[in-house]
Structure formats: C-alpha cells, structure tokens
Chain A
Amino acid sequence: MQNLGIKVLFQGMNLQRLIQGLGVTGRIAFTSIIIGSIFGMLLGIVWTSKSKIIKFLCRLYLEVFRIIPILVWLFIMYFGVTTALNVDLSGETVAIIVFTLWGIAEMADIVRGSLESLPRHQIESGKAIGLSNLGLYRYILIPQAARRMLPGAINLATRMIKTTSLVVLIGVVDVIKVGQQIIELSRIEVPTASFWVYGFVFILYFIICYPLSKLSKKLEAKWSD
C-alpha cells in the first residue's frame, strides 16, 4: 500500500486545491513584498539623513522586528491589536500587515547599507558639478546603489516567501492548511497521506525559493567587483 500513497495527491480535486492554497500564500507574499520594497526604499533613503534622531528611530524600528520573532508579531497583531482597537481583521490581512511592516524594516536596512557603501567621492563629485540633493540621489546614488541592493532584496523576498508558511498558525487557509484538510479527509483510505502531502508542499516551497536564491547568488558574484 505504501507505494500507492502518492496517489492521494491526484485524487479528485486535491492537486487543484493545493495549488489554490498556494495562491493564497503567494498573494500574501507578493503583496507584502511589493509594498514592503517600495516603502522600504523610501525609508532607506530617509535613513541616510544626517539627523541623529531619524537614524535612531529607523534603527529602533528595525531592531524591534529583528529581535522579536515574526510569529510573535503575528500573534500580537492577530490577538492583541484586534482586541485593543476592537476591529475584526482576517488572518490574511493581519499577515499582510505584519509581513509588510517587517519587509519595510529589512528593505530599508538593505537600501541604507548599499547607499552608505558607495564611495564618498561619488557624492562629492556630484555636488561639485552642481547637482541638487534630489539630483544627486536621482542620477548618482540610486542607480549605483540599485545594483548593490538587488541580491539582498531578492534574498529578503525568499525569506519572506518562506516565512509566509507561518500564516497557517493564525488560521489562514493556505497551502499547508489545505494539505492538512486533505490528510484528515483521506486518513482511512491512505494512511500515509501526511508523508506525501507534506513532502509535496516541501517540494513546492523549494521550487519557488531555489531559483530566487540562485539568482541572488549569481548577481552577487557578478557584481561583486
């Protein structure tokens, strides 16, 4: 019987449902990566300001998300904030909010790092030819920094995609939850279902994340000099 366990994936609508669950996961990841990158870039530019207060606040924001695990943040948002503000948010909304806030913090740090890694003479030459502050960023700093930040940004996206697996713990019906439903349903027919379903989900995540991390490594090697 054990060899036939894999058939659970192809029974009825199972495969289709798993892919649909993956769609929910993908929607959460995609939305938060896009919003997180855009606002993260803006915050990263703000972060390079000379004001010590702004620097401190940005640092604090990042550290708050770095030190406390993301799952704890999901809990705080899902159980705490909704009760405190007396609003009813779905698990998916909570997940998108938390992942976006986290993405902004991490992305800002990547942008800041790459802007600060540019040699000083770039800024000075820009100023010497009379560029305004805006022009300096627009024509000199951002185009150069973009190359340096891309590998890090892709890595961050991979991490965010992997972390979306946690949303099942706050009640979102994502690919894992669908998998669990399928396992429950075929418990008697196919006792080894959990092996095959979880194995399949494992491979699904790998198929999505592997090309991204390969790309990031390739870009890093290519642009390192």
Chain B
Amino acid sequence: MNLNWDFIIESLHLYGEAALTTFRLGFWGILFSLFIGVICSIILYFNIKGLGKIVKIYVELSRNTPLLIQLFFLYFGLTKVGIVLSEEACAIIGLSFLGGSYMTEAFRSGLEAVGVTQIESGLSIGLSKLQLARYIIFPQAISVSMPSLGANCIFLLKETSIVGAIAVMDLMNITKNLIGMYYQTYESLFMLVVSYLIMILPLSFFLTWLERKVRYAEFGN
C-alpha cells in the first residue's frame, strides 16, 4: 500500500483547519459540560427541591440517547418549529447536553465520596458552610472524580467525530469529501487517524498527569 505523499502534503492545510474546528468544538463542549456538571451535581448533592427532579430527568434523557439523534433533533427538528441555530452552535449545544450528564455523574460520585467525618470535623472547627465547601468538600471531591472526568473529556473529544453529520466541516467531513472527489482513500483515512491521534494522545497523557497531581484525597485512608 503506497501512500501518495504529494496528495497528503497538499491536503495538509485542509486537515489542519478541520482539526482546529474539531478541537474548538471539543473545547467548548467540554467546558460547558463541566459547567453543567458542577451545577447539576451541586443541585443533586444538596437535594434542592424541585430542581433535583429536573436534573435527574435530564441526566437519564441525555445518557440514554445517541448524540447523533440529539444533533439531528437540534439541527433539523428545531428549525421547523422556529428555533434556528448554526451548525457549530448545534454541535456545541449537543455536545454539552450529552457531556453535561456524564460530568454530573462524575462530580456527584466525587461529592458523595467525601466522608461524613470530614464534614463534621470541618463544622466542629467552626467553618462556615461556604468555607466547608471551599476547603473541605470540593478539593476532595474533585480529586476523587478526576479519573472519570478525564475519561469523559476524552469521550467528548471523540464524540465530536459525529458532528460532521450536520454539515460541520470537521475531520470526518473533509475525509469523506476527499475520498469522494479524488479517490485517495488510503491517504485520506491515514490523515484522519493521524489527526485524531495528534489530538487525543497528548490530552490522554495530560489527564493522566493531572490525575496523579490531584490525588491528595487518598492520603491517610
């Protein structure tokens, strides 16, 4: 299988742009997911009346349906009832909708892992509720949930491969177009895999490093 390197060099800028698009979508998707995750997990943890139920329904709905359908619904379905969103906005909303529930679960399990003794000790040395959250609960919860948060980040970056289906010019779409136009199948697929490896491998190493860095909750257990 001989690769046509001239073609690869020529299409390099296309893949560069597409990779940036994918990366940008992944970045915003992960950021908003984390945001949604923190808020929803706090709502669940403190069992805020009324909102808790809504969060639970949201989590189940988003975890048990495929991203592709969520995107189609956002992009094609909502346009028809008057809500028009750009492709990229749809992609980011879809990713955040999906990722938010995964992040919620990750944070919640971290929050629940903080022992009652920790909270009681904090209260007994006279910390206010805010201080308790700031100095006792959150640092430990984040440390515990770090592995699953990391896994979710990688999961979301991989899920961005689906947004090509709603006409975002991402890596998948570029590949499909190049295969269709020039029949350079191996070269296009080769570039596709390399692009994903360049994005995902460093992130994976970084997350493993970060995980080791924040592993202070286990001390003394």
| Inter-subunit contact B66/A199 (CB<8 Å) | no
B101 to chain A, nearest CB (A): 11
Contact A168 to B68, CB < 8 A, known contacts A69-B158, A75-B189: yes
- List the A side residues contacting B70 at CB < 8 Å: 202
| Inter-subunit contact A209/B65 (CB<8 Å) | yes
| Inter-subunit contact B72/A176 (CB<8 Å) | yes
Quick one: which of B64, B162, B185 contacts A209, CB cutoff 8 A?
A: B64
B29 to chain A, nearest CB (A): 14
| Inter-subunit contact A195/B81 (CB<8 Å) | yes
Complex Cα spacing A206 to B64, Å: 5
| Inter-subunit contact B201/A83 (CB<8 Å) | no
| Inter-subunit contact B204/A67 (CB<8 Å) | yes
Contact A69 to B161, CB < 8 A, known contacts A195-B78, A209-B65: yes
- List the B side residues contacting A210 at CB < 8 Å: 60, 64
- List the A side residues contacting B61 at CB < 8 Å: 206
| Inter-subunit contact A84/B186 (CB<8 Å) | yes
| Inter-subunit contact A199/B65 (CB<8 Å) | no
Q: Is A198 an interface residue (CB 8 A)?
A: yes
B18 to chain A, nearest CB (A): 13
**Per-residue CB proximity of A31-55 to B under 8 Å, as 1/0?**
0000000000000000000000000
Closest B residue to A194 by beta carbon equals B76
Interface 9-residue window, one of A91-99, A115-123, A157-165:
A157-165
Q: Is B14 an interface residue (CB 8 A)?
A: no
Q: Is A76 an interface residue (CB 8 A)?
A: yes
What does DSSP make chain B's interface, helix, strand, loop or mixed?
helix
**Per-residue CB proximity of B49-73 to A under 8 Å, as 1/0?**
0000000000011011111111011
For the complex, count residues of A whose C-beta is within 8 A of B. Answer: 38
- List the A side residues contacting B69 at CB < 8 Å: 165, 176, 198, 201-202, 205
Q: Is A6 an interface residue (CB 8 A)?
A: no
- List the B side residues contacting A84 at CB < 8 Å: 1, 186
B3 to chain A, nearest CB (A): 12
Closest B residue to A195 by beta carbon equals B77
Q: Is A169 an interface residue (CB 8 A)?
A: yes
Q: Is A72 an interface residue (CB 8 A)?
A: yes
| Inter-subunit contact B165/A169 (CB<8 Å) | yes
| Inter-subunit contact A79/B185 (CB<8 Å) | yes
Complex Cα spacing A121 to B5, Å: 57
- List the B side residues contacting A2 at CB < 8 Å: 81
Additional A-B contacts beyond A76-B193, A196-B77, A201-B72 (18; CB < 8 A) = A67-B200, A69-B159, A69-B161, A69-B196, A71-B161, A71-B172, A75-B175, A75-B189, A79-B188, A83-B185, A169-B164, A194-B77, A194-B79, A202-B69, A202-B70, A205-B66, A209-B63, A210-B60
Q: What are 19 contact pairs spanning A and B, CB under 8 A?
A: A67-B197, A68-B197, A69-B196, A71-B161, A71-B162, A72-B161, A75-B192, A76-B189, A80-B189, A165-B69, A169-B165, A194-B72, A194-B77, A196-B77, A198-B76, A198-B77, A202-B69, A205-B66, A213-B63
Seen from chain B, the residues whose Cβ lies within 8 Å of a Cβ on chain A are: 1, 60-61, 63-70, 72-73, 76-81, 158-159, 161-162, 164-165, 172, 175-176, 179, 185-186, 188-189, 192-193, 196-197, 200-201, 204
